[in-house]
Amino acid sequence: MNEPNEAPRKWPWLRPPALLLGVVTGLTVLSWAGREVTKSDWHTNFTRFHPMISPEAMYEPTVDEMCAIVRARCTPAQVLVIVGGNSILLGVGQPADKIWTQRLQESLGDRYVVVNLAFRGASANDAGAVVAETLRAEFPREIYIANENPFQSTSPIGTVTYRFALLDAYYKGYLLPWKPRDMALSGYLKTLDYRDYNEMDHEIGAKLDSWLYFHGLWNWFSYTQHFTFATTLMPHAPEAYWPRSRFKDAETDFDASAFESRFPPGVVATDLNISRHYSSAFYHENSDGSWTEDELAYQIYVKDSRDAFPDSVKPRTLILIGRNSPFYTRQLLPEIVARDEKAIGDTIGILKAQGYAAIGYGRDFGVEDFGDRTHLTSSGGAKLAEIVAPAIESMAQKLNYLHP
């Protein structure tokens, strides 16, 4: 008797071998696409990472994406100047056409290329520093700029908000070996709480992305085609789902804002108190009104500044130490102002002893050069560029970047 014929499968491709082959092929294609799109710069008219293309709006640029921005603007024969640091160097309060880094570019000329990779709330060794380290061999004439307050300590692995960039570079093998950072990162990874979605997403996501490059592909799609979910910064449809390329750099212009709106009484009272204690944790007052360093705070900063960057990149790293607006410092007692000036000088001295270049700014700035206690107006940004440009040129000369 003949056996009955087996009914044909409705979907033969659902057999395990075929399904597995399809999954592997799909992941391979997506991985290839992610690698390819991050080789080119899709950021049209890039000036800086404004809020809609930053973690504030759930957009985390990859290290490869930021490197592509640099490559589209600079050649290895030019001196690459990468600006990192926080919102002060990002240019908060300065519209894109009046931003301080554009003034710096004009002062330095075509032999230099300035790229602003600062982020709000970033530390000196966050994302911009990671990109500079990643490109160290490709752009041998490179200078990195960041900013700090006096005696501002930072972890060798930067801040949590921007750790995505460090993990991205770490798992892709872009970083130099640096024992303090390697130990801090190892400790961080061992103590991750995988019940915290953000921590799990950053660590596991970065590890998988080093193979699959899905993050770069999603960023490309989000920037050029369609954003896939609403955020607190843009919660409502249809704007929430627009490609990020549709959002322009709409930074508030301090110059167009009334003084009273930038310095309301409540803010002034808070910021005056901050100014009064700007460097108080680092000094003891002597009976004659002079100041002596707090030994423990001093040693902590020495160690943290030593550990923050690999030794080989310190000579091409310029740290800017800022002052508060004279609107506040003029209301302080002379001995408090003297303490703050000593703190700035001592911080610069420590940084130079560690191998960095370091300068202060703001001493001769006026009230009109500040939009609030710390952020600069366009005129203040122009003055900052005037201070930074010769420091960059001096570093380039010392590092032998200007030979034919």
- pLDDT tens digits, 336-395: 999 999 999 999 999 999 999 999 999 999 999 999 999 999 999 999 999 999 999 999
Q: Is the pLDDT of residue 165 over 90?
A: yes
Report the C-alpha gap between 283 and 339 in whole angstroms.
8
Both tokens assigned to 372: 């609030």
pTM of the model as a whole: 0.92
Q: Is the pLDDT of residue 1 over 60?
A: no
Long-range Cβ contact pairs of 294-298 (< 8 A, separation 24 or more) = 297/151, 298/151, 298/346
Report the C-alpha gap between 324 and 225 in whole angstroms.
42
Report the C-alpha gap between 34 and 19 in whole angstroms.
22
More confident residue, 5 or 146: 146
Among 21-25, 138-142, 399-403, whose mean pLDDT is lowest?
Answer: 21-25
Predicted confidence at residue 71, as pLDDT, reads 97
State the pLDDT confidence band at 142, using cuts at 50, 70 and 90: very high
Predicted confidence at residue 33, as pLDDT, reads 78
Q: Is the pLDDT of residue 5 over 80?
A: no
State the pLDDT confidence band at 305, using cuts at 50, 70 and 90: very high
pLDDT digits (tens, 9 = 90+) for 89-119: 999 999 999 999 999 999 999 999 999 999 9
Task: Provide mean pLDDT across the span 243-252.
Answer: 95
Both tokens assigned to 132: 């500079």
Predicted confidence at residue 289, as pLDDT, reads 85
Q: Is the pLDDT of residue 21 over 90?
A: no
Q: Is the pLDDT of residue 7 over 70?
A: no
Contacts of 189 (CB under 8 A, 6+ apart): 203
Q: By three-state DSSP, how is residue 116 classified? A: strand
Q: Is the pLDDT of residue 253 over 80?
A: yes
Predicted confidence at residue 244, as pLDDT, reads 96
8 Å CB contact between 146 and 317: yes
pLDDT digits (tens, 9 = 90+) for 180-198: 999 999 999 988 777 676 7
Report the C-alpha gap between 55 and 370 in whole angstroms.
26
Predicted confidence at residue 18, as pLDDT, reads 61
Contacts of 302 (CB under 8 A, 6+ apart): 350, 354
Task: Provide mean pLDDT across the span 24-35.
Answer: 73
Task: Provide mean pLDDT across the span 304-325.
Answer: 97
Mean pLDDT of the chain: 92
State the pLDDT confidence band at 215, using cuts at 50, 70 and 90: very high
